[in-house]
Amino acid sequence: MGLPDLICKNKIIRNGNFRSMVFRRTHVRFCTFLGTNMAYVKILEGGTWAGDGWESCNLFRLTMERVTVEMEEFKWCSMGNTRFTEVRLEAVRFQRCALQGSLWTGTELTGCVFQDCNFRGMRFAGGKMERVKFRNCIFDETDLYDVSMRKVYFQNCRFCGGRVPQGPGCSFQNCDLENI
């Protein structure tokens, strides 16, 4: 018997506990997750998350491979040490999320917004960003250098160490770039 799929549609999940579960694929649509524990969850063969809301959830060390994430909203979520491989994020909003130590490899972000997020020690390995906005975020020892960027905006962000992209694909407004 193979691994199970995570399938969820039009549900409200309060304080759910999926900790350390492993799924083959995932299909999650139009759900609300409140205080849900997804720490150490692994999604190995793709799937979709679309139109969901995540608030105060634990997604620490969440591993996703080849998942499409569309029109999601993450608020006050712990997302440290996430491992995304070939994940597509489209029109996803992150507010006050902690993404410390995460590694996103070959991940594509389109039309995403990050507000008041912490990227301390995060690495983006390859991948693309297009029409992405970062507002009031902290980039401490963050590696953004190996990412193709087009229309990426950093506003009121703080950078300390790490590698920051340069060139026509990104712009900085009122950012602290002195310590890089």
Does 149 have pLDDT greater than 70?
yes
- Considering the entire predicted model, what is its pTM? 0.95
CATH dotted code for 99-180: 2.160.20.80
What pLDDT sits at residue 142?
92
Separation CA 137–CA 132 (nearest Å): 13
**Domain boundaries, given as residue ranges, for the chain:** 99-180
Could you tell me which residues come within 8 angstroms of residue 43 by beta carbon, excluding any fewer than 6 positions away? 6, 23, 25, 26, 62, 63, 64, 65, 67
* Structure confidence at residue 161 as a pLDDT band (50, 70, 90): confident
Is the pLDDT score of 180 beyond 70? no
Per-residue confidence (pLDDT) for residue 131, from 0 to 100: 97
Predicted local distance difference test score (pLDDT) of residue 171: 93
Q: Check the CA dihedral 85-23-81-70 and report its sign.
A: positive
Q: How far is CA 155 from CA 40, 152, 158, 170, in A?
A: 32, 10, 9, 11
Please tell me the predicted confidence (pLDDT) of residue 165. 75
Q: For the chain, state the CA radius of gyration.
A: 16
Q: Which residues of 113-126 are buried (b: 16+ CB within 10 A; e: fewer)?
A: bbbebbbbbbbbee
Taken in order 11, 85, 91, 78, is the CA torsion positive or negative?
Answer: positive
**Angstrom distance (rounded) from CA 29 to CA 51:** 6
How do residues 61-118 score in pLDDT, each as one tens digit? 999 999 999 999 999 999 999 999 999 999 999 999 999 999 999 999 999 999 999 9
127 and 148 Cβ atoms separated by less than 8 Å: yes
CA distance 128 to 70: 16
* % of residues, the chain, pLDDT over 90: 86
Q: How confident is the model at residue 166, as a pLDDT?
A: 73
